[in-house]
Structure 1
Amino acid sequence: MNDDQLLRYSRHILLDELGVDGQQRLLDAHALIIGAGGLGSPVAYYLGTAGVGRLTIVDHDSVDLTNLQRQIIHDLSRVGQPKAASAARSIAAINPEVQVQALCERADEARLLELVATADVVLDCSDNFATRQALNRACVTHGRPLVAGAAIRFDGQISVYDPRNAASPCYACVFPPDQAFEEVRCATMGVFAPLVGIIGSMQAAEALKLLAGVGSSLAGRLQMLDARHMEWTEIRIARRPDCPVCRTRPQGSLPAATPGIR
């Protein structure tokens, strides 16, 4: 790190759990963010400001006036512009050292397999069940940790699905792909604006911990927030031995702390 970086990231470096080595791991890392909307906004901002060296942001949509109630990475001047490109501009304005690849496309399963292969951590900020399942399959295939968040109305949830941990369930263990789940969208159901900030910030925190090798992740735990009463509920989640996605992985015990990528 040069002198400017030591100053910029000094509040991280002062943390015993991070220090110079942990910050360097962030600078060397590559995060893949699927979705640049309500969840993707705080995720991209915090990973960018924290110094994650490479960010790939994937979103096929364009900025709409209705997005600005909660999607804080965009502004009024960007209405009509691609969300991925808008997010890249915002990150460049606050930390131009971060290499941001903005992909203005809808990634299918083959494309997700390609993108996940080059990432150190993957963040699911999408808004549909099919993308979540395809992204999970790609993460299991390549052994990449997946930080998944969701938010609708006043309800949010977050977990980490880490195929490097033998006992960690994958997303399909918890939400089987062959079961019918009601697709709910902000456009029809609404969403409390700060809720996506809370969940997205937690996703960023989990990703940074995984990359730096700090503490323990949410692997094996699903946290759910009722923002009406600001009440959290946590449940333990286990691998399904019959899961069609990850059943071929070896069983084992979940370690006390999730190791860093490097």
Structure 2
Amino acid sequence: MDFSRQIILPQLGVSGQKKLKDSKILVVGAGGLGCAVLPYLAAAGIGTLGIMDGDRIAASNLHRQLLYSQNQIGLLKSQEAKKYLNINFPEVDVDAIDFFLEPSNARDHLQNFDLIIDATDEISARHLLNDFCQELGIPWVYGSIHQFQGQVSVFNFENGPNYKDLFPIADADAISCSDAGVLGTTVGLIGMLQANEAIKIVGGFGKVLSGKVLIYDLLSCNQQIFEFEKRPENNSRLEQISFPFISIEEVIQSKRTVLDVREKDEKPEILKENFLKTPLSTLAEKVELFDRGEEICIFCQTGKRSQTAAEILHQLGFTQIRLIKGGAKEILEQLSHEKDLS
């Protein structure tokens, strides 16, 4: 393939192109994000690409997973993606790994690559990726989708922050694309941004999104970058920070923004104008909806998740955070009492 148009870029040049050729990148997931990442990496001249996915192609995939077609339904994504790359980019060495990332196989496969790209849609897989990449000293490029919003970041790059510095817990109730919905252009854009970070990392140029999370909203074309820091002690959870408390009565009598960080369908349900349902599992994806300078009050069922949510917002630059004394049950009782008095 002729790479002359990108070699003339002074930031890349011949030496940078050779770095791309010598690099080995593993893409974990061959769904929507993977289908955007893989052809751009191959076209850029990455020498070796691994594709790790145990899933099979379904009809519902085709609107956003453009490497596949109707006659491939039921076939393994990793193998079909490899066929596509072999036909269109024969100079790229492609390794198809036909199973999902698990603790039993992670080390054996991740250690063969210089860089990992997260193209999964499971938070538990990202925590697993993070643990093994940290152990092996391998940087990885994160990407996630929630409806029309997407996030991109780089973890474990040159001793920088890792995934658990930003997202300390694995929430099994996080909503997947199959439940929340997804548009093909959303995964396409976020996947290209991931590929771009990977090319910058292995090519050795540009400013990498290490210690930063980019959030893009395709409905508004609004893009924001928030910075976060590496935690010096236990990276399995965020460092405990003390936040001021506010009483239920004071919250109810004011118009402060209140975040209910419980997951969907948790009872009791609380309906009030300034109470926003913002599950902890998707909190970081929705931060662009709030003003970092406004006062935000947080509650959950017992208080544990409120503390975690406050620490995440603090990491992302929010300065006016307060925890509500009491959980959802106490808040509902007070709301009922206020209603009776009125």
- TM norm. shorter chain > 0.5: yes
Does the alignment pair 1:176 with 2:168? yes
Report what 2:286 is aligned to: none
Partners of 1:137 and 1:246 lie apart in 2 by: 13
Secondary structure of 2:90's partner?
coil
Residues 26, 208 of structure 1: 8 Å contact kept: yes
Aligned residue among 211, 224, 241 for 2:232: 241
Report what 1:75 is aligned to: 69
> How far off its partner does 1:16 sit?
1.0
Secondary structure of 2:49's partner?
strand
Report what 2:118 is aligned to: 124
Aligned residue among 156, 165, 169 for 1:162: 156
Report what 2:56 is aligned to: 62
Residues 109, 135 of structure 1: 8 Å contact kept: no
Residues 124, 171 of structure 2: 8 Å contact kept: no
Identical columns (%): 34
Report what 1:30 is aligned to: 24
Residues 140, 245 of structure 1: 8 Å contact kept: no
Partners of 1:10 and 1:76 lie apart in 2 by: 35
> How far off its partner does 1:164 sit?
2.2
Secondary structure of 1:39's partner?
helix
Aligned residue among 88, 96, 106 for 2:90: 96
In the TM superposition, 1:128-143 aligns within 5 A as 128-143=122-137
Alignment size in residue pairs: 238
Report what 1:253 is aligned to: none
Does the alignment pair 1:221 with 2:215? no
> How far off its partner does 1:114 sit?
1.8
Residues 57, 75 of structure 2: 8 Å contact kept: yes
Partners of 1:202 and 1:100 lie apart in 2 by: 21
> How far off its partner does 1:68 sit?
0.6
Secondary structure of 1:225's partner?
strand
Structure 2 runs not aligned, ≥5 long: 239-342
> How far off its partner does 1:106 sit?
1.4
Secondary structure of 1:110's partner?
coil
Aligned residue among 171, 182, 191 for 1:200: 191
Residues 144, 164 of structure 1: 8 Å contact kept: no
Report what 2:39 is aligned to: 45
Secondary structure of 2:50's partner?
strand
Structure 2 letter corresponding to 1:50: A
Residues 58, 102 of structure 1: 8 Å contact kept: yes
> How far off its partner does 1:14 sit?
1.1
Q: TM-score, normalised by structure 1?
A: 0.87
Secondary structure of 1:158's partner?
strand
* Residue-by-residue CA offset, 1:177-211 (whole Å, 9 max, x unaligned): 3x646421121110121000000000000001100
Secondary structure of 1:198's partner?
helix
Partners of 1:202 and 1:121 lie apart in 2 by: 15
> How far off its partner does 1:223 sit?
0.7
Secondary structure of 1:108's partner?
coil
Q: Cα RMSD over matched residues?
A: 1.6
Structure 1 letter corresponding to 2:86: A
Partners of 2:79 and 2:50 lie apart in 1 by: 11
Greater RCO (CA < 8 Å, at least 6 residues apart): 1
Residues 140, 246 of structure 1: 8 Å contact kept: no
Does the alignment pair 1:212 with 2:203? yes
Structure 1 runs not aligned, ≥5 long: 248-262
Structure 1 letter corresponding to 2:133: C
Residues 176, 26 of structure 1: CA spacing in aligned structure 2 closer, same or farther, 3 A cutoff?
A: same
Q: TM-score, normalised by structure 2?
A: 0.67
Residues 150, 186 of structure 2: 8 Å contact kept: yes
Structure 2 letter corresponding to 1:21: S
Secondary structure of 1:156's partner?
strand
